Amino acid sequence: MNKFLPAPIVATIFGAVLAMLLTACEPAIEPIDTAVELGPDPHSYANYEQVRVEHLSLALAADFSDRTLTGHVTLDLAQDDLAERLVLDTWKLSIRDVNRVGPDGELQPLSWRLVEPDAESEYLGAPLVVAMERGVEQVRIDYTTSPEAFGLQWLDGQQTTSGEPFLFSQSQPIFARTWVPLQDTPAVRYTFDAEITVPDDLMATMGAAGNPTEINADGVYEFNMPQPIPSYLMAIGIGKLDFQATGPRSGVYAEPSLVEAAAEEFSELEAMIDAGEELYGPYRWDRYDLLILPPSFPFGGMENPRLSFITPTVIAGDKSLTALIAHELAHSWSGNLVTNSAWQDLWLNEGFTTYFENRIVEALYGPERAEMEATLDRIGLQEELKELDDAEQVLARDLSGQDPEQAFNGVPYDKGRLFLLWLEDSFGRETLDAFLRQYFDHFAFESIDTEQFIAYLEANLLPKDPDAVTMEQVREWIFEPGLPEYAVLPASGAFDKVDEWRRQWLDGEIELNEIPVDEWTVSEWRHFLLKLGDRLSAEQMAAMDAEFGLTGTGNVEILYLWLVRAIETRYEPGIARLEQFLLEVGRNKFTRPLYEELAATDWGRAWAIDVYQRAKPGYHPLTRQAAERALGIDEQTGTE
Ligand code: BES
Ligand code: ZN
């Protein structure tokens, strides 16, 4: 290039490129190498193979008027060889200062740079590079989060039932870096302590020990986490919260108006922990509480250790949706205790958990309910597989260069579960259970990848019955698309009856009041509504509504399927309910497909955009992103 351009221009271009690469927040004390690369985890810039965070101390204050967390984090480091740099993950953090903490706690400035995010993968954020001097054991970073942090949702008083503001985090998969500068990879585990300052009348809770049971007059709360966790399990929730115990080591946190209903709905929490221990060994996190979030929480549940975060939409009044609690609890073994070391191994977390969840449901509610729930998921998976390309159907899926959000489809969950069900069928329950118990013990508090699991399986399960399965079959499950033809598919006899009632009604052979719905579980309702097909008319919807009162159902799983049918048939009372639902609930599992369904109709897109614009202020950034994609709204400008 410099053959053709005069030197001053080359220098200018060079300077501009350098300025683009380096955000000069702070003059460097000494030159610093800002070249970064992705490590064995393609979603983290952290150089954790050279230097590892072992403990983290947080001191943060929540400011609801600016929607920021401000304070500092101190990282305790361990190094094998002397590392020259510490590279941390961050996303839109404003870094004020980076210091070395000396033996007596004195601070000495270190050189640091925030590297400009890569345009192709902005979701990975901006690596923070810190020059390490000899013998640095502790680094303190003073910073403030961005109001746009994906890992935090700030709600004001109008958006909560208590009328007080609320903040909650969602760190999985790579959003911890939006509120703490750290090694944001599940390959690294650390313990932590935290001091959190909040407005006087609010309570702070964390996925940690030390959760209060009452609001504290000075607004300062202290936590510690003695068990080492990966960053995606960092969690904070702040609001006007009450606590109600459900047992000696369990309870629920919720806004005052909801706490009683939540404690009643989840009164079996303690029994679920016992069932989990019975299956796969001791619960190693001391307490297990639930934090019930406002309805804008973008997920059903998040397995934050010691304190799972739960959508209020599963409070159905009849304990019919508690499989979700069983799921988040099961992660206390599969996921939180033995952790996927990168997001391509997500099935080790979610597949094992989905299998385990169903075993807890079976232990508490019996095999019929468990079988029905497993069958619905299996049918859902088979439908989903038709829409996915081959790469997306693989359990251990290469995600380099892709947003890790891509990993979260039904495959790691339900194909993962079917893999374990096949092992159960091949070796017998007792043998598989003993193997799983041993697996959780062996890898407790470690992060592992798919190959480590396969090697462990080959050494410890296959010899139990050398004729049961082959390694080729195991590899087919894990590395090939689709379902092997020898898969064992859950099927529920109860659904055959539902199919027959539905057919008879649609064919005009019987009246709706002849269907014995009083005996139906939520799963039977779901199965009924799922398969109504496209023969339905708005008149038939009205007839069903008159008979069963579905527009007014308090069960969110039934309501969701009913609303999908209402969109298909343009059934007006259902559409009115849909508007109310979209304005209130931000759970992506429901909002995304509802917006997609609407966008696919000739009348629905404009209507949905109008509803979305009104709902948007109350939505989580993740819900907004998914809805905007569904509706074809430009994510930057918010226009069509
Ligand atoms: N770990 C997930 C939540 C999650 C999903 C976080 C995707 C980040 C990205 C949690 O354990 C989960 O799977 N929740 C499900 C419920 C479950 C019963 C399938 C959910 O939220 O719907
Ligand atoms: Zn899960």
Average pLDDT over residues 116-142: 93
Q: What is the pLDDT of residue 523?
A: 98
Catalytic site residue 413? yes
Active-site residue, 619 included: no
The catalytic position among 413, 571, 612, 619 is 413
Which ligand 1 atom lies nearest to the CA of residue 357? 18
- Give the length of the chain: 640
Mean pLDDT, rounded, for 366-392? 97
Ligand located closest to 174 CA: 1
pLDDT at 327 over 90: yes
Taking phi first (over 0 means left), then psi (-120 to 50 degrees means alpha), and beta for anything else, what does residue 445 get? left
Nearest atom in ligand 1 to 405's CA: 9
What distance lies between CA 386 and its chain's CA centroid?
24
The DSSP string of 12-23 is HHHHHHHHHHEE
pLDDT (tens digit per residue) in 476-519? 999 999 999 999 999 999 999 999 999 999 999 999 999 999 99
The confidence band for 7, taking pLDDT boundaries of 50, 70 and 90, is very low
Considering the chain, what percentage of its residues have pLDDT values greater than 90? 90
Residue 67 Cβ < 6 Å to ligand 1 = no
Closest-CA residue, ligand 1 atom 7, reads: 408
pLDDT digits (tens, 9 = 90+) for 239-255: 999 999 999 999 999 99
Average pLDDT of the chain, as a whole number: 94
Of 80, 64, 85, 57, nearest to 159 by C-alpha is 64
Mark residue 628 as left, alpha or beta (left: phi above 0; alpha: psi -120 to 50; beta: remaining): alpha
The response to whether residue 418 sits with its C-beta less than 6 Å from ligand 1 reads no
Lateral strand order in the sheet of 220-229: 107-109, 94-101, 138-144, 68-79, 51-63, 190-197, 220-229
Q: Which pTM does this prediction carry?
A: 0.94
- Ligand 1 contacts CB of residue 301 (under 6 A): yes
CA of 35 to the centre of ligand 1 (A): 35
Average pLDDT on 568-590 reads: 97
Q: Residue 29: its pLDDT value, please?
A: 53
Residue 324, ligand 1, Cβ within 6 A: yes
- Nearest ligand, measured from the Cα of 349: 2
- Is residue 290 within 8 A of residue 264, CB to CB? The reply is no
Is any atom of ligand 1 closer than 6 Å to the C-beta of 303?
yes
List beta partners, residue 291: 253, 309
Please name every residue paired with 153 in a beta bridge, in sequence order, or none if there are none: 168
Q: What is the 3-state secondary structure (H, E, C) of 543-591?
A: HHHHHHCHHHCCCHHHHHHHHHHHHHHCCHHHHHHHHHHHHHCCCHHHH
Residue nearest to atom 8 of ligand 1 (CA): 172
- Give me the amino acid identity at 591: T
| Catalytic residue (choose from 303, 328, 350, 357) | 328
636: pLDDT confidence band, cut at 50, 70 and 90? Answer: low
Q: Tell me which residue has tokens 């759970």.
A: 587
Q: Per-residue DSSP letters for 274-318?
A: HHHHHHH---TTS-EEEEEPPTT-SSSEE--TTEEEE-GGG--SS
| 604-615 confidence digits (pLDDT tens) | 999 999 999 999
Pocket test for ligand 1, best of 327, 347, 406, 620 (most atoms within 8 A of CB): 327
DSSP 513-544: GGS-GGG--HHHHHHHHHT-GGG--HHHHHHH
Residue nearest to atom 10 of ligand 1 (CA): 302
- Binned at pLDDT 50, 70 and 90, residue 10 comes out as very low
Residue 18 has pLDDT above 60, yes or no: no
> Per DSSP, what are the bridge partners of residue 307?
289
Distance from the alpha carbon of residue 292 to the mean position of ligand 1, in angstroms: 15
Task: Count CA within 13 A, CB hemisphere, residue 16.
Answer: 5
pLDDT surpasses 50 at 8: no
Domains of the chain: 337-479 (1.10.390.10), 494-631 (1.25.40.320)
